[in-house]
Amino acid sequence: MRQDVVVVPSELIENKIYIIRRHKVMLDRDLAELYAVPVKVLNQAVKRNIQRFPEDFMFTLNEQEAEALRSQFVTLEKGRGKHSKYKSHVFTEHGILMLSSVLNSEKAIAVNIAIMRVFVKLRKIMIANKDLALRLEQLEHTVEKQGEQIHSIFDVVKQLMAIEEKPKRNIGFHGE
């Protein structure tokens, strides 16, 4: 790989990953920016190789998804000529991998490697969080169980304290 190919910082990539339809995806315009190509060029390359992009690799945003994303970007305005007239395509991790074969440049390869490393990092974080959540759930269950046992102990103590003392008979002779 040539020395003049700049690697993209992982924080920049992380900020461009969204969750849509329960998939981690990146927008075509964000990918085009990272690859340093116009969005139109990226989408034309995809269109020429559409058989490489099944629905689980790439899909087009519907109106509600596009509007929800637009509301997140304060810089985008509604109206004619204010933003793209075409619906955005989003690419899953596998679709982004496939882009490296469609956009065959050193920059595209370097950016794809950086993106894949970010996806791996996110996957590791998610696994660690699942483990932590499982441990927390087990701890809560243990505490609940112990709480129930402590509650039982208190109940027994209260019962013992509540036992009425029967009047004791005096020992010895009693004169009548």
Residue in the structure block whose two tokens are 């995806």? 25
Residue-range domain boundaries for the chain = 10-128
Interatomic CA distance for residues 13 and 111, integer angstroms:
9
CATH classification of 10-128 is 1.10.1760, yes or no?
A: no
Residue among 92, 159, 145, 167 at smallest CA distance from 123? 92
28-35 helix and 93-102 helix, angle to the nearest 10 degrees? 40
Q: Per-residue pLDDT for 1 more than 50?
A: no
20-56 confidence digits (pLDDT tens): 888 889 999 999 998 888 999 999 999 999 999 999 9
Mean pLDDT of 67-77: 65
Q: How far, in whole angstroms, is CA 154 from its chain's centroid?
A: 44
Q: Percent of the chain at pLDDT above 70?
A: 82
**pLDDT value at residue 78:** 54
The dihedral through the CA atoms of 33, 97, 24, 7 has a sign that is negative
